[in-house]
Structure 1
Amino acid sequence: MDTTETLVTYELKGAVALIGLNRPDKRNAISDRFVEAIHEAVQRAQKEARAGVIFGHGKHFCAGLDLAEHSEKPLFEAVKGSRRWHAVFDGIERGTIPFVAAISGAAVGGGFELAASTQVRVADQTAFFALPEGQRGIFVGGGGSVRIARLIGAARMGDMMLTGRALKATEAEAWGGVSYVVPEGEALTRAVALAEQMATNAEFTNYAIINALPRIADMSSEDGLFAESMVASLATMTDDAKDRLRAFLEKRAAKVQDPNA
């Protein structure tokens, strides 16, 4: 494990990059320097790995914005800081490889925003989610008004921000904010297993899922259907797809298993 950057650890486990938020004494609260460390790790992962996992060292995933740093910023510096968060988190959401968030403890404010930028979120039973911006006199600035609102709905997000409501992992799952809920201490193990599975997919298909789906969601129905046809046709043209389809037709590839069996 590479710990030369104290804020973020990086480990390559086979085809999966493990990115660890490493500020446990501050519940992994995010500063500007921390954002840049996350960016560097994500960029490295996209060069070296086929999938990635983001997790928090210590008891908590991420308690969000470092308010001590934020409260001292002039107005325009705050705007530029928010836009930098957007750029870095967009590199996770619409990069070249899929990411899984392994969440335990707090995923609060910017921590929830970071988790929302990953493609899949795994939470253990210690996880809780909150958006306390209303009580702090601030507003989400790391992309939450787009990403979290699309996951759980604007009305539910507004409820969390207005009332300070915190969600348990099972509640976040019911609302669409979490993909999997696992027993305490098992979030990272499950996240790595899912990332390893993703890493076996065709690279172009993973790229299309990451980049086409959110863009199609922004389009009209007709434009989205047209874009889907283009991406689907491109996917079938890759050598990887041809090999995989041939293996399926020749009964060398596993069939989809019935989860009810």
Structure 2
Amino acid sequence: MSEPFLITSEMDNIGIITLNRASKRNSLDEAAIAEIDDYFSNVPSHIRVILMTAEGDHFCAGLDLKEHHDKERSAVDFLRVCQGWHRAFDKIQHGGIPVIACLQGAVVGGGLELASAAHVRIADTSTFFALPEGTRGIFTGGGATVRTAKIISASRMVELMLTGRVLNAQEGERLGLAHYVCNTEDNPKTAYDLGLELARKIATNAVLSNYAIVSSINRIADMASTEGLFAEGLMAAVVQTGGDVQERLSEFVNKKAHKVRPKS
């Protein structure tokens, strides 16, 4: 029996999932996608934040091309595979729980599609990003045209796919593929350490507020302005009449809450 693709653990109210196929650069086959779908369909109720990490030198090198080659899928077969990826990654992005991805090495093709579904992305200096589908004679199928293109723009995605150009961690950060770059002079922490630090901070937010942030903002961005403003107002009305709002506002009114200040 093969080892599971995901290793799962918990640290208080933080769920930790680790991609566990380092020998294949954590490439994604049908079984791996099924495990991701299953985990994000059944997240324990006490988990407030999820940290996504990977074994080995690479986060994820994308679609398992050997499986794809060996199965010789028909167009309908592969459409169903793509729909499975879409379902699994939608549960990451829209599941209501913040997901932080700690990146290293290859974040390529389907690996970039997986990372794009996370809400916070932390890269170390070994991280590189690419969409090599054009050079492989294939096309993205795990949601890049929706998720990744929204991050970097459709025009930039076209250029990356046509040329096969590889972006380093700093270039990826400038385009929004990473929110932080670690192991640098300015930020000497590891991606995992910073990810855990941010996870602990995010876990202290109001649960309903976190849910609204990760579930509604991307959906509202897809709406026309009028519908988006209405949806925003509805979400604000729900969140700002939640159970712990008065307590948190009372701390602010009584000058017990932290102040927002620039970094020194």
State the TM bucket, normalised to the shorter chain. over 0.9
Q: What amino acid is the match of 1:121?
A: R
Q: Secondary structure at the residue paired with 1:79?
A: helix
In structure 2, the residue matched to 1:52 is 50
How far did 1:226 drift?
Answer: 1.4
1:141 has 2:141 as partner = yes
Q: Residue by residue, what CA displacement relative to the aligned partner does 1:143-176 show, whole Å, maximum 9, x if unpaired?
A: 0010000000111111110000000010011111
In structure 1, the residue matched to 2:173 is 173
1:161 has 2:161 as partner = yes
In structure 2, the residue matched to 1:236 is 240
In structure 2, the residue matched to 1:101 is 101
How far did 1:196 drift?
Answer: 1.3
Q: Are the equivalent residues in 2 in contact too, given 1:30–1:66 (CA < 8 A)?
A: yes
Q: Residue by residue, what CA displacement relative to the aligned partner does 1:55-111 show, whole Å, maximum 9, x if unpaired?
A: 111111000000111122222111000001000000000002100110000000000
Within 5 Å, give how 1:180-191 maps onto structure 2.
Answer: 180-183=180-183, 186-191=190-195
How far did 1:252 drift?
Answer: 1.9
Q: Are the equivalent residues in 2 in contact too, given 1:45–1:52 (CA < 8 A)?
A: no
1:91 has 2:91 as partner = yes
| Alignment partners' CA distance in 1, 2:39 and 2:233 | 34
Q: Are the equivalent residues in 1 in contact too, given 2:37–2:87 (CA < 8 A)?
A: no
Q: Secondary structure at the residue paired with 2:172?
A: helix
1:200 has 2:198 as partner = no
What runs of 5+ residues in structure 2 fail to find an aligned partner?
none
Q: What amino acid is the match of 1:164?
A: G
Q: Secondary structure at the residue paired with 1:80?
A: helix
Q: Which deviates the most, 249-258 or 135-144?
A: 249-258
* Aligned residues with identical type, % of pairs: 42
Q: Are the equivalent residues in 2 in contact too, given 1:5–1:37 (CA < 8 A)?
A: no
Q: Which deviates the most, 101-110 or 31-40?
A: 31-40
| Alignment partners' CA distance in 1, 2:54 and 2:216 | 29
What runs of 5+ residues in structure 1 fail to find an aligned partner?
none
Q: Residue by residue, what CA displacement relative to the aligned partner does 1:208-261 show, whole Å, maximum 9, x if unpaired?
A: 1111101110111121111111111111111111211111111221111222x3
In structure 1, the residue matched to 2:64 is 66
Q: Secondary structure at the residue paired with 1:134?
A: helix
